[in-house]
Chains A and B, each alone.
Chain A
């Protein structure tokens, strides 16, 4: 299939998925024990009888279920994800306010993991029994087995008292004065530990994966051909091997976006990073259901967008797909 129709088909499916997530949210509200109006208001929201009546009316809770679903969906489509009674603000506003920091954290961690991970993987594949190769194995075992929030807390201990190089909490220093550049630098400084904590798990996986697929590709016929016709070793690695070895990494990175957001929830909680994760944590403590469901919806949308992006990148990077499209 050529590029555009395939993309349109993916796009249509993505929209269907988004609607499906909304339906799931609706079902969750109704399946939860208790009155849906109570659920929407949030158990500890301190909702009065008036508020509950207003909710029943505006969500059509006195009408048949399919009408309720329709009301819920049409509200969501217009961006109305409900009202947080705990924060006393529309859920959409709350989420949009926290989206930036989470995206900053996740994307930084992802890029860090991708660049360092593939680099380490390539170095390890060059010397399969070298130090880097063993390091990659050890880091990936630790990265897999250590709970991410614990790794974060260990870094907090390390950087709070032993090597106070990086801030261990928050996203910026409110006392700091200065221009845009100084503030950006301050955010970057605060970003180091959370992004490292989140990224290191994936760094381990990507480096192991790069190493494995590089080793496989370096043993293949066309690499031998390239070497035989005198292509320089640097070019063999960068142009011939890595371009193919990176494909499974792109796929995995896209598929893992959801897991990365999950990890971000824990990392944000550890480092008090003001993103969706801390919002999720706080609203769970407050049993603020509209906000929690709104975050679930929004992060699913992020994953859907990430999958779409991966699909496009894959088509651009894959030499075979590129060739057939031309």
Chain B
């Protein structure tokens, strides 16, 4: 059947095409909206709701909805839960995002070098990766944070150090797939340097799955941060959702809200990140596009 020009498929940039798929998924859009809301609340919220989250403002363990000045109740010391929820996101998001960045930088560097050079280099790097994979990640992070003090940067580094192997394996697989494609050989034939081929020729083409996995590592890093704070391994002077759960845990049978609400915030944050990740996965994965 003849097509009129308007029905002809128009050549689009891959980014635009991916975005088109992404925005057709209402779950992915919902995730993105949720994520933006949480980030906005964490950044702007403290300016609007100015109650200090570590100040004692009302009677301890007041239930939500009883006293108007503390709408979501108070914790075991009488601190405002709502203020905690609003202020607790900053540390969690900051640590989550920086830890994910560390994960991605270590993972991609190791995976890229291993996949590109192959042979002995690959063998050695993959053995190192395997070594890191036998250490239970949370326990290893706990040890690192305990030995080197529980400050935000140390927590982020510890999470990054324990979670890069999966990214490295993925990056390696992509580099092995791409390294002998024609355009890479073309780059080699004009004697481009290895560094240039790795970072400028192969990496941009290996990015889609790596972007998806990086998004998911933000979610994983947030869960790690929450777990460490829950165990008391976070900066005790900085409010975080995990810390609120950890310190409220003993009062759980008398005051459900003390642990339920911060946990729900962690859940919603990780959920939003993973919905965005799923959306990106569909957008980048041509095999699934038409399903």
Evaluate whether A304 and B263 lie within 8 angstroms (CB atoms) in the complex, with A157-B253, A266-B230, A287-B146 already known.
no
Min Cβ gap B273→A in Å is 8
Q: Are B263 and A150 in contact (CB under 8 A)?
A: yes
Q: Are B259 and A141 in contact (CB under 8 A)?
A: no
Q: Are A259 and B136 in contact (CB under 8 A)?
A: yes
Q: Are A157 and B252 in contact (CB under 8 A)?
A: yes
For A34, the closest partner residue in chain B by CB is B147
- Cβ contacts under 8 Å, A261 to chain B: 136, 139
Which residues 217-267 of B have a CB within 8 angstroms of A? 219, 223, 226-227, 230-233, 242, 245, 249, 252-253, 256, 259-260, 263, 266-267
Task: Count A-B pairs with CB separation below 8 Å.
Answer: 134
- Cβ contacts under 8 Å, A133 to chain B: none
Q: Are B148 and A147 in contact (CB under 8 A)?
A: no
Which residues 112-153 of B have a CB within 8 angstroms of A? 130-131, 133-140, 142-144, 146-149
Interface size range of chain A in the complex: 35 or more
Q: Tell me the interface secondary structure of chain A in the complex.
A: helix
Q: Within 8 Å of chain B (Cβ to Cβ): is A59?
A: no
The contact of B274 among A144, A156, A300, by CB within 8 Å, is A144
For A18, the closest partner residue in chain B by CB is B134
- Cβ contacts under 8 Å, B253 to chain A: 156-157, 160-161
Instruction: Bits for A58-102, please: 1 = Cβ < 8 Å to B, else 0.
Output: 000000000000000000000000000000000000000000000
The contact of B134 among A31, A266, A293, A307, by CB within 8 Å, is A307
Q: Are B131 and A20 in contact (CB under 8 A)?
A: yes
- Cβ contacts under 8 Å, B219 to chain A: 144-145
For B256, the closest partner residue in chain A by CB is A157
A150 CA to B252 CA in the complex, in Å?
11
Q: Within 8 Å of chain A (Cβ to Cβ): is B72?
A: no
Q: Are A145 and B270 in contact (CB under 8 A)?
A: yes
Q: Are B143 and A150 in contact (CB under 8 A)?
A: no
- Cβ contacts under 8 Å, B233 to chain A: 284
Q: Within 8 Å of chain A (Cβ to Cβ): is B56?
A: no
For B227, the closest partner residue in chain A by CB is A266
Interface size on B, residues (CB 8 A): 41
- Cβ contacts under 8 Å, A20 to chain B: 131
Q: Are B274 and A17 in contact (CB under 8 A)?
A: no
Q: Within 8 Å of chain A (Cβ to Cβ): is B201?
A: no
Q: Are B130 and A17 in contact (CB under 8 A)?
A: yes
Q: Are A32 and B263 in contact (CB under 8 A)?
A: no
Min Cβ gap B127→A in Å is 8
Min Cβ gap A134→B in Å is 13
Q: Within 8 Å of chain B (Cβ to Cβ): is A292?
A: yes
Instruction: Bits for A156-183, please: 1 = Cβ < 8 Å to B, else 0.
Output: 1100110000000000000000000000
A150 CA to B223 CA in the complex, in Å?
11
Q: Within 8 Å of chain A (Cβ to Cβ): is B207?
A: no
A261 CA to B274 CA in the complex, in Å?
23
- Cβ contacts under 8 Å, A28 to chain B: 143-144, 147
Evaluate whether A280 and B252 lie within 8 angstroms (CB atoms) in the complex, with A154-B263, A266-B227 already known.
no
- Cβ contacts under 8 Å, B102 to chain A: none
Q: Within 8 Å of chain B (Cβ to Cβ): is A124?
A: no
Q: Are A303 and B134 in contact (CB under 8 A)?
A: yes
- Cβ contacts under 8 Å, A307 to chain B: 134
Instruction: Bits for A275-314, please: 1 = Cβ < 8 Å to B, else 0.
Output: 0000011001101010011011001100110010000000
Q: Within 8 Å of chain B (Cβ to Cβ): is A5?
A: no
For A146, the closest partner residue in chain B by CB is B267
- Cβ contacts under 8 Å, B249 to chain A: 153, 270
Instruction: Bits for B68-92, please: 1 = Cβ < 8 Å to A, else 0.
Output: 0000000000000000000000000
A265 CA to B225 CA in the complex, in Å?
14
The 4 closest A-B pairs by CB, nearest first: A262-B138, A150-B263, A145-B271, A145-B270
B interface vs A, CB < 8 Å?
A: 130-131, 133-140, 142-144, 146-149, 219, 223, 226-227, 230-233, 242, 245, 249, 252-253, 256, 259-260, 263, 266-268, 270-271, 274-275
A interface vs B, CB < 8 Å?
A: 17, 20-21, 24, 28, 31-33, 39, 141-142, 144-150, 153-154, 156-157, 160-161, 255, 258-259, 261-263, 265-266, 269-270, 280-281, 284-285, 287, 289, 292-293, 295-296, 299-300, 303-304, 307
* 5 more A-B residue pairs beyond the given contacts A154-B260, A280-B139, with a C-beta to C-beta distance below 8 A: A17-B131, A149-B226, A153-B245, A255-B133, A292-B143
